[in-house]
Amino acid sequence: MESGTTTITTVDHDHDHDHGGGTAISDVHQDVIKTHILTRLDGATLASASCASSHLHALSTEEQLWREICSSTWPSIDDPRVRHVISSFPGGYRSFFSDSFPLLHHGSPPKQHHHLHHHNRPFLAEIISAVDVHYKESLIFSKVQENETKSDWFLYSPFRFDLLEQKELVQTPIRHIGENQAWLDHLEENLKLSWILIDPTRNRAVNVSSWSPVSVQRHWLTGDVQLRYSTVVSGGEGTSELVQCAVVVTCEGKVGGAMHVREVSMQVEDLEGKHLNGKDSLVILQGAMESGKRKKERKGEGKERVEEFLKMKRERKERKQRRERALDMACIATGLTIFVAFWSFLLFR
């Protein structure tokens, strides 16, 4: 996903003839451009090139070109069901890339959240997850999962998507080379994850992963390594609340041996540390799909936002504890006052 970037320079045709310069891009045969230039670009560069001139725009909108880019970026979307859904997007694979490549960026609450409860805009009936995990640019895990979202069990239970069964393990080429911080830093640098949620009804998608881990920790007892790929988004219109879409990957293995993935899951957590239920999570995710901001982030920006979220979470917890201590002291003082008043009444009446 973080492939190299190629720069395209276009030359104004009229300006070029006036000054006897080089060949303008419009003078290059379109087969040469499509076959030898555009096919070498990543999606972000191709999107930029399409804005450079009307000639490049016409050449860079071909469906097959975007399909190849999307498939190489997210191998999981070669699943037949996902291909069928993407074919229904307004701009096909180009629209899908526009929804899924820029990472979700929290800002002001999505303007359409209040419509989600309207009878003409029911909850998502189904969500498709397309998940890919890469280690040093090599794919080590890829899966598509469809989840029904209309049952009461889903709507009112804590929201959680699990891609692996309880005892299922995924073998990886990752060698467990040590237990020090350098090894954890190595995983943070090289283990990347993409989790795209797709609405097959409204033909929208959103990538809820941070791509790089925002934290890598070793469990003190089991030795398992837990990587978190989190995105902070708005908790809804009319509120300044934020929530965290937390994707967790848990790996196990002994030093010197291969590591195995035993958990790939996602939950939505608020500032109280509570995991939201399916109904509340659907409101947030559907709003993020339809009107959440997408942004190409600088390295480490997502991690900084999660750290800010965790800081807000700690501060809220501390305020709650102070209020509870103050309430406890008030109750104790009230009790002592009543106790003293009662005995004073008995002794001095």
Q: Which two tokens stand for residue 311?
A: 């800081």
List, for residues 288-344, the tens digit of each pLDDT value: 888 777 777 667 667 777 778 778 777 777 778 888 888 888 899 898 888 888 788
List, for residues 11-45, the tens digit of each pLDDT value: 444 444 444 455 566 666 666 666 667 777 777 78
The span from the CA of 230 to the CA of 338, in Å, is 51
pLDDT bin (cut points 50, 70, 90) of residue 10 is very low
| DSSP string over 78-108 | GSHHHHHHHTTSTTTHHHHHHHHSSEEE--S
Residue 141's alpha-carbon distances to 85, 133, 138, 183, 260, in angstroms, are 22, 5, 9, 21, 11
What sign does the CA torsion over 19, 22, 28, 34 have? negative
Residues of the chain above pLDDT 70, percent = 81
More confidently predicted of 55 and 334: 334
DSSP element (H, E) containing 332 = helix 301-348
pTM for the complete prediction?
Answer: 0.79
Residue 88 neighbours by CB distance under 10 Å = 12
Mean pLDDT of 43-52: 76
What sign does the CA torsion over 132, 136, 138, 141 have? negative
List, for residues 61-71, the tens digit of each pLDDT value: 888 889 999 99
For the chain, what is the total number of helices (H) and then of strands (E)?
A: 11, 12
User: DSSP strand E in 209-288: where?
Assistant: 215-218, 225-234, 242-252, 258-270
